């Protein structure tokens, strides 16, 4: 059984989200094939941004892995935006930088609508913007939950 099936307040998204994603998550939850890893962007030394500042962080994930969800340890509404770009595919995850308020009403971690395969070199660029004009030293961070092959 997938742990998401036990979450009482989980709702179906993108039409038939649960039936499409749960079987995939069950496959990558097999501890004999995959190891659960958490990738933090940025690292602990660079996650503080001055007012209006921009940060570009490179993240390397093992090719063949699957990104299953995204989370944020700092709580909702910290006043930053972020963008994730898969450098191997030249693919940006969002049409425009995503505000951190996306985490405010969701149970964390937020499952992706489908597992995201890590291909090519496994290089991702994560960009952050401090969008709160009143906070200098804004802490910006996201965490990608990854199923890494053994």
Residues 60-95: pLDDT tens digits?
999 999 998 888 776 555 688 899 999 999 999 988
The answer to whether the beta carbons of residues 41 and 56 sit under 8 Å apart is no
pTM: 0.78
Q: How far apart are CA 110 and CA 143, in angstroms?
A: 10
Give every CB contact of residue 147 below 8 A, 6+ residues apart in sequence. 28, 29, 34, 35, 36, 37, 65, 66, 68, 115
Domain residue spans of the chain: 3-149
Neighbours of 67 (CB within 10 A): 20
CATH fold, domain 3-149, is: Jelly Rolls (2.60.120)
Q: What is the mean pLDDT of residues 85-107?
A: 83
pLDDT tier at 14 (50, 70, 90 boundaries)? very low
The answer to whether the beta carbons of residues 92 and 130 sit under 8 Å apart is no
pLDDT tier at 25 (50, 70, 90 boundaries)? low
């Amino acid at each position: 059984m997938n742990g998401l099936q036990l979450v009482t307040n989980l709702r179906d998204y993108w039409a038939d989200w649960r039936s499409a994603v749960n079987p995939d998550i069950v496959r990558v939850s097999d501890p004999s094939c995959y190891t659960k890893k958490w990738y933090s962007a940025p690292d602990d030394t660079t996650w503080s941004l001055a007012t209006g500042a921009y940060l570009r962080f490179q993240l390397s994930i093992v090719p063949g892995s699957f990104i299953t969800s995204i989370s944020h340890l700092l709580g909702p509404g910290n006043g930053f935006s972020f963008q994730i770009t898969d450098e191997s595919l030249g693919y940006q995850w969002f049409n425009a930088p995503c505000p951190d308020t996306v985490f405010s009403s969701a149970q964390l971690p937020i499952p992706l609508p489908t597992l995201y395969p890590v291909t090519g070199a496994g290089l991702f660029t994560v960009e952050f913007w401090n969008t709160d004009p009143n906070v200098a030293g804004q802490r910006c961070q996201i965490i990608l939950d990854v199923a890494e092959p053994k």
